[in-house]
Every structure is written in C-alpha cells, then in structure tokens.
Structure 1
Amino acid sequence: MRHTRTRRTTATALAMTLAIATIGGGGAARQAPANPPPNRTPTSESVDGFTLSPTKGPANTAGTHTTITPPTSGITFTQISAGNGHSLAIGSDGNTYAWGDNEYGQLGNGTGGDRNIPVRVHAPAGVRFTQVSAGYYYSLAIGDDGHAYSWGYNGHGQLGNGSSDWISSNPTPARIIDPAPGTTWTTISAGHEHSLGIDNHGHAYSWGRNIYGQLGDNSNGTNSPNYDNADKHTPVRVTDPAPGTTWTAVSAGDGHSLGIDSDGHAYGWGRNRFGQLGNGSSDNTPRPTPARVTDPTAGTTWKTISAGDEFSLAIDSNGHAYSWGANNGGQLGNGSSDGIYGHFPHPTPARVTDPTPNTHWTTISAGHGHGLAIDNNGHAYSWGYNYYGELGNGGRDGVHQTPHPTPARVTDPTPNTTWTTISAGYEHSLAIDNHGHASSCGLPLHAPVCHVTPGPAYTGTPHPPLRFVSPQPPVPTARL
C-alpha cells in the first residue's frame, strides 16, 4: 500500500552520500551560480560548512552507494534513522544531524528548505540527544536529560505537545508533554502519524493518530463521525495486556504498533488488514489493545521487533528472523510474494529465509515495502521492493516493481565492510559500518540518499553521488 500524501519534487533533489566529516556552522545554503561560464562546470560548492566536490558526478551510477572519509575527518555516527524523505543521525561529537525533505521543519534546524547535506538539529540549550527516530514528516528524540522532544509535522498530534496543526511546521525540537510528573524516557519510536515511547518504569505510552486503535489505549476513531476525535495530542498509557506488564521495546508502523514485554512476549495492536498484528487473524476491525503475537514455536521469546507499512519483522532469542502481514512485494522475506496486486494476509509469524545455513540475525528493520537485517558476521541483507534502489544491491526496478522475496546481500561500499546499525525508511535505507561511516541508498527525491539513474518512475535532474569533504580550513564545531 502506498501512502496517499503527495511527495514534493524540488530542485534540491541532489544525491546524498553520508560521510564522517568535520562540521561547521549551520548557515543557509549558498547556491551554485545559476548561469556558470560557458564550458565550465563548478568544481565545488560550500553548504553549511561542508564542501561538495564535484557538484555532479557521472550519470551511470544506478543503485550505487558510497562512503567517503574526508582527509580531516573527526565525526563518526552512532545511531541513524530513516524516515519518509528525511534522515536523522547522532554524531560522535554529541550533536544530532538531519538532511533531506524539510517541508514541515522535520530537520529541526529552525528553517524551512530541503537540505542535501547534514545540518545540525537545534537541540535545546544544554541538551544532547541520545536517541532519534524519523517518522512520516516528523522527528522524535530523547535527550540526555531524559526528556522526549519532537519537531516537524503535527497533523494528528504526533508531536505530543498538546496540539495538532495540519498546516504549520514545527522547525525546532520542543518538549513532549510528560504523562506524569518526573517522567523520563528510555525508548521512542516515530511511525506514520503516531508515536510510541517507554518511560523509566517500563510503561508504554502513545500519542497521535488513532483511527485504527494504534495507540493501544482501548479507543479508536472508526465509529466516530470525525475519525480524528480519537487522536491524542499528549501521551496516553498503552493498556497493559496483563497486570504489572513492563515493556522493553516498542515500534510504531503505519497504522499498527508492536511491543515486547519484559518476559519476551510480543504484542500487536491497531490495524490488522493483512495480519500485521501476528495474532492469527486478519480483518479491518481495529484492535485498540495489545494482543499476543502467536509464537511460531513453543516457548518463543523475542529480542527485537519492527513495524513497517502493514507488515512486521522480528528476531527471536535464538537469532531467527520472522515476518508477518502484507507480502505483495516480497517484504516478508520468506521466498514467496503475492505480486504487486496480490494483497493477501499472512497473520502468523513465519521464518525469514536464511541466506546462508544457520544464519543468526542481530538487527532487523521494516520499511515501507522492504526489509533490512544484519547477521552476526556484520553482513547486511535486504528484501522486498526495490523501486528506487532501496535494497542497495546495485540496481533498481522502477515502474516494474519486481518483488525480491528472499534476503540478498547488500553490496559492500568498500571491501570487507561490516555493519553495526541499519534502518529502513519509506523508500530509502541507511546503515552504519564498524568505523562509524554511514551509507545510504534508495529514493533520490529531496536528497535523502544516494542517487539512482532516472527513469519513467519519476522526473527530475539526475545528481549522481557527490563527495562531501571537510571545509578548508576546518570550521570549529560549535555547540548549539
């Protein structure tokens, strides 16, 4: 299922290859001359303390991704999150960076305008973000003060600040309202238009859109004359499936939510049209409270879980990966696909196909129509749709939308690359290697990722991979 909100196409759709770099001030972008001298191509462009060199590369770079380490590198990345056309990352310098689409201020740099180079998120004075999550035109973070923050689009109250607004942007981080005095947060997850978090007591909270019961507070909007009446603009407690439940993980998807409790049991709530809740059933009836995900084998316990767009992925305590929900693009990774128009439910967990015998998975991430995972050898794998090259395998399918139903190795940008972190966005993918270098592949619009050769699936000027090198001389890092 494709989201109905229209993505903008702008002249800022430059290619993006993330790199470790020395980062300067966050001034406005300086555009290249509109009419350069005849027979001359600009060799570099300075934007926000980065230098782009060259400003354009060769055109035949379909599906590529590259990592460049500049000569005066100093910043590596410790966490990364892919949203819908924008990306977030935490740097080793303690600052948080964002790039891509900025229509609603989701980059958090206090301005509008898309950015094809990472810009500093304007964290509140004295606060460093320790966790970030990129959603659908909005962003969430947890600070080292334990408070949760949000910025960007707020049409359904997903920023958790007590309000909702379809039009205005929220371009700088602001505190999410605490559900109780003294609340501190340990986990946060941004979904399509709803958000989830876990506090320091292990209680799960939710806020934002609730038409399908995805907030898990035993309410939903399907029986209301106004579907948005069930939206919550401040955090509300997710209903405990059993007395005294504490949560260790939550993940917000499109219209459904997933969580793992302290006993290792997995739960799902919200929309269940394709069986994405994993409880053995599938229908359009909202599930407004957590229901137990069916154990694929007796005594299964789960260690990580990820909610995508109408499908779900998880890893059990034995390192086996499982999937359930929609499979029209092969996003379940089980070796089969229902085809682009084959919307059939898969309501119980089934094993993701091991790419090699006895594969042990450590990390998994569900995107819009594709899945990503890292095995215990540090190799990254992908499966599902590859419309824009988001699988990182060196190609893209464009309008053909060919399913890729089994995990295949992501092409290493350099020999012997190993990966530590991976994130599947709506139509792009991000990963961090063991050196802290970040790489990306997929959708070129709004420059969230490396570019792919243009085709009939979209329009716009091609901007193949660019190199990002440190300013000369380097500009000192300033704390915001």
Structure 2
Amino acid sequence: MSQLLKRFFYTLPLVFIGCLGSMPGHAVESSVVSIAAGYDHTCALTTAGGVKCWGNNESGQLGNNSTTNSLKPVDVVGLASGVVAIAAGYRHTCALTTAGGVKCWGELYEPLHYNGVKHLTPVDMPDLTSGAVAIVTGGAYTCALTTTGGVKCWGVYSPLLATTPEVYVKDINSGMTAITAGFFHTCGLTTAGGVKCWGVNHDGQLGDNSSTEHLTPVDVTGLPSGAAAITAGWAHTCALTTAGGVKCWGDNFYGQLGDNSRTNSLKPVDVSGLASGVAAIAAGDEYTCALTTAGGVKCWGAKLVTIKGGPGSTNYSESFDEKDLTPVNVNGLSSGVAALAAGRKHACVLTTAGGVKCWGLNDFGQLGDNTNTNRLAPMDVIGLSGGVTSGPVAAPASPLTGLWWNQNESGWGMSITQRDSMAFLAWYTYDSIGKPTWFVISSCPLVGSGCTGDLYSVVGGTPLGVPWNGSGKVVTKVGTGSVAFSDNNTGTLNYSVNGVNGTKQITRQMFATGSVQPSVNYSALWWNENESGWGLAITQQYGMIFATMYTYDASGNPVWYVASSCPLSGNSCAGDLYQVTGGSAPTVTWNDAAKVVTKVGTVNFTFQNSSAGTLTYTINGVSGSKVISRQLF
C-alpha cells in the first residue's frame, strides 16, 4: 500500500514512494525503488520507472497480458518507464504516472460493470489522466490523492460506491496529505497531522471510539495532530507519530495492535516498545510491521506462515496460537532495509542495495523466489537482488541528502533531503533586487540519475518571534526545476523561474572532516508540525552541523538565515546565525562582490533523539524557542 507522508514547509502534497533511489557510479546499483504487496501478488517499481509483478494472476493483476501465475517478476505491458508509484489490491494493481495520471489493471470495477471487468494490461482511469499525487488500493476499490489535497475513490467496495473517480469523497475536497486503504475502510492524514477515517467499522478500525460505519470521514480519537504516516490492514489501522512511535486501533484478534493483548480497541493504543525509533509502517491483513530508523524490521500480530510436519515441510495451517502480541525482530533484517510492504499473509522489503526480499505464504508465488514454498525468513526475489558495478565505495542510504552549491557563486545554495526515492529541494537564493528569497521543490521523485518537480514560492508567513498565523501564507507555483547527478558529489540544476530558464552546476559542499562519524546523524528536514509554513534543513558532517532556516521577515516576505558552524557537543550544538543579502538572482550573472554577510544572532539545537528536538534562537534582538521534529515526507 503506497503512502503519502506529511509535508514540510506548507500544504503541498508530495508522493512518498518508500524506497531507495539509484545513482550512477555507486558500487551498489539499485534495480528497484519501490514495492507494493497485494492480497497474493507483489509488484516492484524499477529505477527506470517501470513496473514488474509476480504471484497470483487469475484476474490479470500482473499486467503481462495473461492470467498465468508467475513465480518470479514479469514486466507489466506498456509500463517500462514513466511510473512514480504503485499500489496493489485484492485482484488489481494501479500505477501513478509522472504526469499525475492513474493506470490500473486486473479486475476493475467500471461504469455499468458492477461485477468487475478483467483488464490484462494497464488502462487509464477516467478523469484521472493528471492531477493525482498518490494512490492506494483496498479490497476492490482504489483511491487517489489529488494535487489539491482532495481524495477520489472508485470501486464497488469504496465508501462512496462510485465506479469512476468523478466525484471527491464527500467532505474531502482538500486538506489531506496522505491516504491509506484497508479492505473495507479508508483513512487520510490531514495537514495538521490528524487522522480521519471512513467506511466499515465493525471492529473499530475507524478509531472514533465506536463501531458505527461512516460514509463520511470521522476524526480518529486522540489523534488531532502528531501523526506522520498511516497504514491500514483488513480491519485495523496504525499511525506513525512525529516522535517515531506507533499507535494502532481496530481488530486485535491476532495481536495486530501490538499492545500485548487480543482485545479490540475502538481508539488508538500504543504499540508496546515502539514509542520512538520507527521510520515507516505497513499493515497486512492481521499483522503489522515497522521499519526502524536503524534499518531493521519488527512485526507483530498473526505470524505470516505456520509450518507443521518438521524440517522441510511446506504444509500451511492457520493456527490461532501462532501470533506475536508485541513487536519481534524479523530474522535477518536487523539493518539494511529501506522500505517495506505488507500483503495478506506475506511481506516484502526493499534493501538499501536496491534488492527485494519476501517471506510468508507463497501459494501463488507471491514471494518471487521461483517456488511455491512458504518461507519463514526473507528470501531474495529472482532478478531483484541488486547488483554491483565498478566503484570503490558503497552508496549511503540517502546519497543525495546534503548541502549543494556552485563553488564559484558563494552566496546561495540548495539543501537536498532524500528519503528513499523522493527528494525535497529547498533552494535559498535572491530575488531580482538581491533580497533573500527561497523556493522549494517539495516533490521530486528520483528516476534514474535525477528528478524533476514543480518549483514553489511561499510568501505571507509569520516571522519568528510572532505567534504563528498560517492562514496568511500564499503558495505560488513559479516554475519547474530538475537536477541531474553525475555521481554522489556533482550534478546540474536546470530551472525555469517565472518564465526565465537557466542552468547551474552544483557540487556537494564539504564543510567538516573527521575520522569517525557520530552514531546519530541529524541531517534532515525539521519543522514544527503546528506551524506548517517554515522549516529547517540540517546537514551534519562528522561533528559539525550546517543549518539553514527558511522563514519570513517582519513584512511576511521569505527570508533565510544560516548557521554555518554549529559544532556538536553531546546532543546539542550552538553557533552564530547569519543573513546574506545583495546576492544575484539565479536568472542573472552572479556578482560575488555585491553580497553582504551580516551576523544577526545565535542559534542552539538540543536533540532529545534523532526525531525530536528544540530550537532556541536570538535574531535581531528577538529571542524565542520552538519545538521541532524530523519531517518524514
């Protein structure tokens, strides 16, 4: 199930693909950037933007123009490129294209065909050839998140019971940043970090402290804010909090809520032992899994397979005694995992090397290891185990995250944060009269050796030191931007800003050295979740932090400050804060002599953990403090 996570600076949706991007010149060459697990089939999105699927194909859900099951990956017809996200359902699969369109295949429910029609190859969804930023699949329905933050659903089991995506789900025209689909219920993540759900509710899976069905969204009790991601199983739902913890609600017969009980809950309960340290979550039918910040995987609830009959036996049984009521480590997956996906009774992970491993029930070949043998531990998917090319150093988990600049134009820069195969670019530069301004590309999906996305400007925000008023900000699309990387340290920025095109060579800025990297790296986007309109880009190299603060001046105009030298001492750092004015606009020739660097105050960061901290500042004589958290996008 694909997921969309919360946004950083402002309310613009962006796709979370949940995977690792590839770069030329890496020692480890990724073949896959995203995975999706359906009822009993699995699919992968490749670095070229193509789709491969395997497992059950009786309804054409593999998309290879047949109904023959496949024990290993096969290419989806017509989708060798151009795809940025995938979702797998009960008997169908869907893909989100680079144009924002949706294509689906398998057993689809369309106008005048309420019993479903099989499509053995992808077909365009009516009225959704553009404008979508994320997709999820439930039992026999599909939902799309639109560029306006609205939700469209279609299929006979959708809450709207619509058969084409012609109408928004009632009461959701905007305000959503992510969606997830269970078998008969759907949930959305709001811009405030709250969760709303609708649909079937017999086990409390809507989380509104009732078991009443709702065709319109209802608030999940106790989660008006603080959620960063959501996932839905058959009849239970879970949320990842901004603190890195996990809360679940709904059916708990198999212990899938992880609270060390088998009691259903009509509202969220904490998962035992997971108050922090979680980066992503995925829910299967009657189990749940979490990806830790260390790259390991823990699961709880129904065990995916029960093997009886001794060594070598492949007999499958569904034993009510085979369950874990609290999270347990998955064998062989203590580190090295970039993303995970959960199907009915099988699960898969994407490794940081770009390979795919699966385990669990394998009756239709959904594990992709060219057998029908059930697996208690993760096995490599045939042809998707990653590969090795020339080069001395393996790529890090997020190779593009860092501070980028043009070394001949010292006065502007770009903070790139990569999370799996999605990049967020914050470009701090100058307007036509040399006044500091900033642009962001909030959704830049990595395909091949680069990414392309829309470029936005945000004005009208509240300056630091004044109570936040997010209603004043105005978000304007000013153009497009793309980056193409030659390797982990060099690339090219191409842009179009207000109709003016340009190109800049960029390199990774190295500002610190050392012999040993600290155990915790705070490099990330950071924000205050209640003040969606400003933020921080923190880049850490060894024991030094370079922080760029994107905010507003007294008139509500965008401004940026930098702490170029903030040495870490324990879990905190302190440094001087600077403003740089007089630089040249990106659309004119750079004039280095015109820029003026002025110290405007000081800044201090104190981190409670890798996902939460406090910003304390003094800027032009005004002091303040903000709670900040790592932004998961």
- Counterpart check, 1:178 vs 2:182: no
Give, in angstroms, the shift of residue 246 of structure 1: 1.9
Structure 1 partner of 2:84: 78
Structure 1 residues 114 and 245 mapped into 2: Cα distance closer, same or farther (>3 Å)? same
- Give me the whole-angstrom Cα distance separating, in 2, the residues matched to 1:264 and 1:238: 19
Structure 2 partner of 1:367: 343
Kept in 1: contact 2:101–2:128 (CA 8 A): no
Give the % identical residues: 25
Structure 1 residues 287 and 366 mapped into 2: Cα distance closer, same or farther (>3 Å)? same
Kept in 2: contact 1:268–1:292 (CA 8 A): yes
Structure 1 counterpart of 2:320, one-letter code: H
Aligned to 1:251, the other structure's residue is in SS state: strand
Aligned to 2:186, the other structure's residue is in SS state: strand
Kept in 2: contact 1:109–1:172 (CA 8 A): no
Which structure dedicates a bigger proportion of its chain to strand?
Answer: 2
Cα deviation 1:200-257 (Å, max 9, x = unaligned): 111100000000000000001xxxxxxxxx110000001115xx63211111110111
Give, in angstroms, the shift of residue 413 of structure 1: 5.7
Cα deviation 1:182-212 (Å, max 9, x = unaligned): 7421100111100011111111000000000
Kept in 2: contact 1:111–1:171 (CA 8 A): no
Kept in 2: contact 1:327–1:337 (CA 8 A): no
- Give me the whole-angstrom Cα distance separating, in 2, the residues matched to 1:433 and 1:392: 25
Kept in 2: contact 1:138–1:150 (CA 8 A): yes
Aligned to 1:288, the other structure's residue is in SS state: strand
Give, in angstroms, the shift of residue 369 of structure 1: 0.5
Give, in angstroms, the shift of residue 93 of structure 1: 3.3
1:248-327 equivalences in 2 (<5 Å): 248-283=228-263, 286-295=264-273, 300-327=276-303
1:98 to 98, 104, 109: 104
TM-score by length of 2: 0.48
1:13-412 equivalences in 2 (<5 Å): 63-67=71-75, 75-102=81-108, 104-105=109-110, 113-123=117-127, 127-154=130-157, 158-159=158-159, 161=160, 170-178=163-171, 183-220=174-211, 230-240=212-222, 245-283=225-263, 286-295=264-273, 300-327=276-303, 329=305, 340-344=317-321, 345-354=323-332, 359-397=335-373, 403-412=374-383
Give, in angstroms, the shift of residue 21 of structure 1: 10
Cα deviation 1:78-136 (Å, max 9, x = unaligned): 1000001101101123321100002x339x999962111101112358x5111000110
Structure 1 residues 62 and 113 mapped into 2: Cα distance closer, same or farther (>3 Å)? closer
Cα deviation 1:113-162 (Å, max 9, x = unaligned): 2111101112358x5111000110000111112211100023xxx43x4x
Aligned to 1:272, the other structure's residue is in SS state: coil
Structure 1 residues 173 and 293 mapped into 2: Cα distance closer, same or farther (>3 Å)? farther
Structure 1 partner of 2:622: none
Aligned length: 336
Give, in angstroms, the shift of residue 414 of structure 1: 9.3
Q: Which runs of 4+ in 1 moved over 6 A?
A: 16-22, 108-111, 417-421
- Give me the whole-angstrom Cα distance separating, in 2, the residues matched to 1:412 and 1:392: 9
Structure 2 counterpart of 1:349, one-letter code: P
Aligned to 2:251, the other structure's residue is in SS state: strand
TM-score by length of 1: 0.62
Aligned to 1:304, the other structure's residue is in SS state: strand
Structure 1 counterpart of 2:71, one-letter code: G
Structure 2 counterpart of 1:347, one-letter code: L
Kept in 1: contact 2:286–2:302 (CA 8 A): yes
- Greater Cα offset, 299-308 or 140-149: 299-308
Kept in 1: contact 2:149–2:175 (CA 8 A): yes
Structure 2 counterpart of 1:64, one-letter code: K
Aligned to 1:118, the other structure's residue is in SS state: strand
Kept in 1: contact 2:355–2:384 (CA 8 A): no
Structure 2 counterpart of 1:208, one-letter code: G
Kept in 1: contact 2:70–2:364 (CA 8 A): no
Kept in 2: contact 1:330–1:406 (CA 8 A): no
Kept in 2: contact 1:247–1:259 (CA 8 A): yes
Structure 1 residues 250 and 280 mapped into 2: Cα distance closer, same or farther (>3 Å)? same
- Give me the whole-angstrom Cα distance separating, in 2, the residues matched to 1:346 and 1:235: 31
Structure 1 residues 187 and 76 mapped into 2: Cα distance closer, same or farther (>3 Å)? same
Structure 1 residues 78 and 416 mapped into 2: Cα distance closer, same or farther (>3 Å)? same
Structure 1 residues 411 and 109 mapped into 2: Cα distance closer, same or farther (>3 Å)? farther
Aligned to 1:349, the other structure's residue is in SS state: strand
- Give me the whole-angstrom Cα distance separating, in 2, the residues matched to 1:434 and 1:412: 19
- Give me the whole-angstrom Cα distance separating, in 2, the residues matched to 1:152 and 1:142: 15
Give, in angstroms, the shift of residue 56 of structure 1: 7.5
Aligned to 2:121, the other structure's residue is in SS state: strand
Structure 2 partner of 1:440: none
Structure 2 counterpart of 1:175, one-letter code: Y
- Give me the whole-angstrom Cα distance separating, in 2, the residues matched to 1:343 and 1:77: 40
Aligned to 1:174, the other structure's residue is in SS state: coil
Stretches of structure 2 that go unaligned for 5 or more consecutive residues are 1-42, 51-62, 308-312, 390-396, 398-419, 422-444, 450-633
Structure 1 residues 78 and 293 mapped into 2: Cα distance closer, same or farther (>3 Å)? same
Aligned to 2:142, the other structure's residue is in SS state: strand
Kept in 2: contact 1:152–1:170 (CA 8 A): yes
- Give me the whole-angstrom Cα distance separating, in 2, the residues matched to 1:137 and 1:388: 19
Kept in 2: contact 1:76–1:435 (CA 8 A): no
Aligned to 1:136, the other structure's residue is in SS state: coil
Structure 1 partner of 2:7: none
Aligned to 1:305, the other structure's residue is in SS state: strand
